[in-house]
Amino acid sequence: MTDSGSKIAVVTGAGSGIGRAVAVELLRAGWSVALAGRRPATLEETAALAPEGAALVVRADVAQPDDVAALFAAAVDRFGRVDLLFNNAGTFGPGGVPVEELPYDAWRHVVDTNLNGAFLCAQAAYRQMKEQDPQGGRIINNGSISAHTPRPHSVAYTATKHALTGLTKSLSLDGRPYGIAVGQIDIGNAATDMTARMQTGALQANGEIAPEPVMDVADVARTVRHMAELPLAANVQFATVLATAMPYVGRG
């Protein structure tokens, strides 16, 4: 804890979309937050929405082990500990590409960001949470409803989100002796730049193109904050938050 008594979070992919919304929600609730991402300019825009001194901007590519180590070192140097990691950084990869045409480099980029990056950040958080006093903390992984049901032509993204569920379960089990709680939020159609195309038309399982409903990203941020602020004796293992009318529950 810092001298002010605030809790400390690391949020990856904090320069836009869900990452920015969650970071701002935490900052306005009194948390101190290390904002991580590959683009310092967008991270600074997020920091500008925060109370003065509560945000730390750290340029980091989560797929690079040295960047991840430097991120957590900077957070601890500034704030003294880490109470929460929101493992959010991710990419869809190239959209609409059939599996037989997906370049291997594109596959590797999605795997490196969505899965390897999540592991590296969780590992760094785990080490810090195990060593600090008082011991413990929380990791929330940003999954996807693709961890349950894929979209057409999304093999890399879907595979990594299924793998992320396994990562969440293993981390949750291994963290028990050290007071480290690990959960996952699976999100469907939060309104961000990454999902803008869904409102104009997205490929459905039956081959049709149809617009899909979206929800306010602030609803996701409030859910993450609820998960984050539970006592460590309680954990939301999996939460699914989605636009009510999106074509997810049912057949199509």
Active site residues: 157
Alpha helices, H only, 80-232: 104-111, 117-131, 155-175, 217-228
Could you tell me if 180 and 130 are in contact, meaning their C-beta atoms sit under 8 angstroms apart? yes
DSSP state of 206: T
Nearest CA among 58, 56, 65, 67 for reference residue 31: 56
In sequence order, the 6+-apart residues with CB closer than 8 A to the CB of 182 are: 122, 138, 139, 140, 141, 168, 171, 172, 175, 235
In sequence order, the 6+-apart residues with CB closer than 8 A to the CB of 62 are: 12, 13, 36, 68, 89, 113, 117, 118, 120, 121
